[in-house]
Amino acid sequence: MLGLCGQRLPAAWVLLLLPFLPLLLLAAPAPHRASYKPVIVVHGLFDSSYSFRHLLEYINEVQGFREAVVPIMAKAPQGVHLICYSQGGLVCRALLSVMDDHNVDSFISLSSPQMGQYGDTDYLKWLFPTSMRSNLYRICYSPWGQEFSICNYWHDPHHDDLYLNASSFLALINGERDHPNATVWRKNFLRVGHLVLIGGPDDGVITPWQSSFFGFYDANETVLEMEEQLVYLRDSFGLKTLLARGAIVRCPMAGISHTAWHSNRTLYETCIEPWLS
């Protein structure tokens, strides 16, 4: 766990910054086009089971990520782009919330559980082999349970009160629980130029898959879209404001599994390339 702006957020993700230059060169449509803004790529943790070690063993923190990207932003006054995959999308959203001087033009969230996770997946079974989604709240919503990354965004729709009280990450960046920095975090997040949301029904990991678009289950496990969520209706961290100014782009794609999002050329050309100015 780490202290950040008066709140404690989990150091729950390994963050990898990549130049992404080869892909940009392949994607450049015309040699006379103006220079591209730098692209920062943040990976998730689904590359290996080792990634799901205890939080104390994670090697990067949100604060460390901030220190890494500040020099990149300083050298790019015209702005930068963030492409953030899977759990990395939550790290990026936390960064945009706590960083009051970021210059992110496009935040591209690639199959990220933005409204949380509630599903039995292979990764969950590896981490908690004796638990099912219906009873995982007993672990995740305990103090020691919040020491596991997936528990920081585990969102059980049948135990919403426990989620709101126990979540040390998602409930905070969503503005679902009051804290002294909520207003500042919302203002910071609204500095982003575009929020590009990508996901699809064949993902197989993000559950429900609409979480990639800020949709989620109600208490009957019926999916409510973003515009029906309380965080949107209350504009608790800026979603409603972003949509009103035309800054939210939704790009659903069928036929792509969770581990294939970052290697699908059609997906890149359709949903990512148009926003890499």
- In SS3 terms, 139-178 reads as HHCCCCHHHCHHHHCECCCCCHHHHHHHCCCHHHHCCCCC
86 among known catalytic residues: yes
Give me the sign of the Cα torsion angle 208, 209, 210, 213.
positive
Q: Would you list the DSSP string of 33-74?
A: SPPPPPEEEE--STT-GGGGS-GGG----HHHHHHHHHHHHH
Asked if 170 and 150 count as a contact pair (C-beta separation under 8 A), the reply is no
Which of 43, 86, 155, 159 does the annotation list as catalytic?
Answer: 86
35 among known catalytic residues: no
Which of 109, 111, 155, 203 does the annotation list as catalytic?
Answer: 203
Asked if 111 and 212 count as a contact pair (C-beta separation under 8 A), the reply is yes
258 among known catalytic residues: yes
Which of 43, 102, 194, 258 does the annotation list as catalytic?
Answer: 258
Asked if 114 and 189 count as a contact pair (C-beta separation under 8 A), the reply is no
The amino acid present at 28, given as its one-letter code, is: A
Residue 31, CA distances (Å) to 17, 28, 39 in order: 26, 7, 18
As annotated, the active-site residues are: 86, 203, 258
